[in-house]
Structure 1
Amino acid sequence: MKKRGMALGLAAVMALSTLLAGCGTGSTQATGTQGAGGTAKTVELKFGHVLSQDSHFQVMADKMAELAAAKSNGTIKITVFPQSQLGGDSKMIQSMRTGVQALSITNQASLVNTVPELTIFDLPYLFDSIDQANKVLNGPVGQKYLDLLPQHGLIGLGYMSVVERNVFANKAIHKPGDMKSLKLRTMQAPGHIKAYELLGTQPTPMAYSEVYLSLQQGVVDGGDTPPDQFIMDKFIEVAKFYNMTKIHYLPLILTMSKMQWDKMSPEQQKTVQEAAKEALAFQTEYYKKEYHDSLEKMKAAGVKVIETDVNALKEQTSKAYDVILKDIPNGKQLLEEIEAAKKQ
């Protein structure tokens, strides 16, 4: 009987050991930090964005995936899904908040319903240049807005280069009067719409995917987009003029699901943040070249690049400030902080 009891006990111990060993292997999506024997588990992160595989969004995402894999010895795996494969901006924001998706590049205008303070960047002519905007956003002022995200289920890992939105149309715009009655597709953002109204246009929010056909059919007269997207989305085929109106500089935020961030170990979080920082710096330099190359491609294709009287447009849109600021929490204070940072 003693021998039989000892044999049963030994079998039970061996079975339990096998079960525990089996539980300590495999991969996870931002869960667990170590496998059996102290080896790090693989963390798999989905990274979605709305632009094509030829875009600077993809360049940044690929760079981050490469850096994260190298820094983690292959245990952090980022898979990139371009061209809205995981949905549009709004859907991806919700997917990150619920922990379904890990990462995305989110434009500021898509976040204003979640973080109303970000509406401050809807102000027309808030910045004078891409470099100035990037400097402010990558300083203490920009960090202030990233710090607002965790309470909404998101982590802000940093800023990509802002993009300068200019008006493309089948008409040259030299001065404010040239914009009168133009029907322009705009982003669904109160500040953008108000600015274009003050310039005498008919702002027409619509899905970005509909703009090409709408312009081709005369439903709209034009829209606003950065130089690279004008080329990439083939507006070069349906618009004769690209007008350097420089009304808005749109911030782009590298966002991550807080739920998935919290499931990672401190070491994994540090690795992801370091990879993000280096990839964002790489993208900022890459975008400078892409911006200028895109303007040259337009000219080579016969599109007229017009140097618009920006000062005249700026004066006419200044009336939008009071209207926009009154709906932003502590709007005037936020504007003062940005103005002060621009002078540093």
Structure 2
Amino acid sequence: MFKKITNLLTAISFFAVTTLFGFSASAQQAPIVIKLSHVVAENTPKGLASLKFKELAEKKLPGKVQVQVFPNSQLFGDAKELEALLLNDVQMINPSLSKFDRYTKKIQVFDLPFIFKDAKAAADFQKSKDGQDLLKSMEDKGLIGLAYWHNGMKHFSANKEFRVPNDIKGLKFRIQASDVYESFMKALGANGQKMAFAEVYQALQTGVVDAQENTYSNMYSQKFHEVQKTIVETNHGILDYMVVVNAKWWNGLPADIKKGLSEALAEATVYNNKIGQEKNDEAKKLIMDSGKAKVVKLTDAQLTEWKKSVAPVYAQFEKDIGADLIKSAQKHSQAAQPKAEKPATKK
């Protein structure tokens, strides 16, 4: 009898141990789920690059990670995505740079109107030490920036014909949640209204706002051109994104996972930045072909009028951003000066 009981206990113990170890092995094999949320359509540069990151991450780390991409504000909209990241309800987001001014005022350098002459100048600044330092500037707030993603230069659109700042006085402009842009609109004589991206089309359609500013790819994907009369190519600002992660989550990842994700992100970043201009050029052509909104290229004199309006904006935000950081950003838009020729020496 005693022998039977002993054998039974041994069998139960063996079953319990093997079950426990089997469960542990199974748990270790479960992939790490990474939720990536964004607010734009899948066919935009950011939307496509997010899907490319998923593809690359799951290829480099087969069975170890599962990336779930939620586009078009499906999971969280503009107002909630950063809060969701800090709560670890999502692990990765890629919002526009304007969204981070509540965590570091220095990031407002990207919102200063006409600070970059083109997308290349912005990219060069982002690659510089000052640009890279901004990626790391929010870790004490729970955020780590991993990369910059480009979309392109922004332009103004409105429900009326316009060419110069005086033409838009009193118009209600949808802007991102940016104090700099609110000040910019005031300097132009317009009324800036902060509004989530997902709400813009209906607001334009119903007249809640009269105008907006965005890249061609975003205007086309959201059909803004269907409810606007004129698009004026101002190139007044850059619309770029920062890929950010929850700092605690990222720092807690195993080294091999972090390495694989970093490699995937680096490749997705190259992909995003390559297609950014292509998508904007394509969207511009589609908008022009639709015949729904008139695309206007400004004369040099007209563009100068827009640029003259920004001085009060720079004066207002110089202290928070830092004069040195502003100069660092501006220098990438300055043409290289030709070297002076040495006077010929008499022989």
Q: Per-residue displacement from partner, 1:85-128 (whole Å, max 9, x unpaired)?
A: 22113322122212221111111111111222212222111111
SS state of the match for residue 271, structure 2? helix
Q: Runs of 5+ in structure 2 lacking a partner?
A: 337-347
Q: Per-residue displacement from partner, 1:170-224 (whole Å, max 9, x unpaired)?
A: 3333223223232222222111111121112222233434433333333332111
Report if the CA contact (8 A) 1:245-1:310 is conserved: yes
Counterpart among 139, 162, 171 of residue 160 in structure 2: 171
Query: C-alpha separation between the residues in 2 aligned to 1:139 and 1:274?
Result: 20
Q: Runs of 5+ in structure 1 lacking a partner?
A: 28-34
Amino acid of the structure 1 residue aligned with 2:316: V
**Does residue 1:21 correspond to 2:14, yes or no?**
no
Counterpart for residue 255 of structure 1: 244
**Does residue 1:325 correspond to 2:318, yes or no?**
yes
Counterpart for residue 79 of structure 1: 68
Amino acid of the structure 2 residue aligned with 1:336: K
Query: C-alpha separation between the residues in 2 aligned to 1:142 and 1:342?
Result: 15
Counterpart for residue 32 of structure 1: none
Q: Per-residue displacement from partner, 1:64-102 (whole Å, max 9, x unpaired)?
A: 111111111232210111111221133221222122211
Bigger shift: 176-185 or 100-109? 176-185
Q: How does 1:1-344 map to 2 (within 5 A)?
A: 3=3, 7=7, 10-11=10-11, 13-26=13-26, 35=28, 41-302=30-291, 303-308=293-298, 309-328=302-321, 331-342=322-333
Q: Please give the TM-score of this superposition, normalised by the length of structure 2.
A: 0.87
Query: C-alpha separation between the residues in 2 aligned to 1:173 and 1:245?
Result: 12
SS state of the match for residue 114, structure 2? coil
SS state of the match for residue 337, structure 1? helix
Amino acid of the structure 1 residue aligned with 2:22: G
Q: Please give the TM-score of this superposition, normalised by the length of structure 1.
A: 0.88
Offset at 1:268? 0.4
Query: C-alpha separation between the residues in 2 aligned to 1:88 and 1:240?
Result: 27
Query: C-alpha separation between the residues in 2 aligned to 1:184 and 1:284?
Result: 28
SS state of the match for residue 159, structure 1? strand
SS state of the match for residue 74, structure 1? coil
Report if the CA contact (8 A) 2:148-2:243 is conserved: yes
Query: C-alpha separation between the residues in 2 aligned to 1:318 and 1:115?
Result: 22
Report if the CA contact (8 A) 1:187-1:205 is conserved: yes
Report if the CA contact (8 A) 1:138-1:159 is conserved: no
- How large is the RMSD of aligned CA atoms in angstroms? 2.3
Report if the CA contact (8 A) 1:136-1:342 is conserved: no
Q: Percent identity?
A: 26
Report if the CA contact (8 A) 2:116-2:329 is conserved: no
SS state of the match for residue 251, structure 1? strand
Amino acid of the structure 2 residue aligned with 1:61: S
Report if the CA contact (8 A) 1:162-1:252 is conserved: yes
Aligned CA distance change for structure 1 residues 19 and 116 (closer, same or farther; 3 Å): farther
Offset at 1:166? 1.1
Query: C-alpha separation between the residues in 2 aligned to 1:321 and 1:192?
Result: 11
Q: Per-residue displacement from partner, 1:20-64 (whole Å, max 9, x unpaired)?
A: 31332335xxxxxxx3xxxx5421111111112322222111101
Query: C-alpha separation between the residues in 1 aligned to 2:126 and 2:45?
Result: 19
Query: C-alpha separation between the residues in 1 aligned to 2:26 and 2:333?
Result: 50
Bigger shift: 210-219 or 145-154? 210-219
Aligned CA distance change for structure 1 residues 228 and 314 (closer, same or farther; 3 Å): same
Query: C-alpha separation between the residues in 2 aligned to 1:176 and 1:265?
Result: 53
Amino acid of the structure 2 residue aligned with 1:252: Y
Aligned CA distance change for structure 1 residues 97 and 210 (closer, same or farther; 3 Å): closer
Aligned CA distance change for structure 1 residues 232 and 88 (closer, same or farther; 3 Å): same
Query: C-alpha separation between the residues in 1 aligned to 2:180 and 2:279?
Result: 27
Q: Per-residue displacement from partner, 1:277-335 (whole Å, max 9, x unpaired)?
A: 1001101111111111111111111221111333321122122101012334xx21221
SS state of the match for residue 166, structure 1? strand
Report if the CA contact (8 A) 1:141-1:341 is conserved: no
Equivalenced residue count is: 331
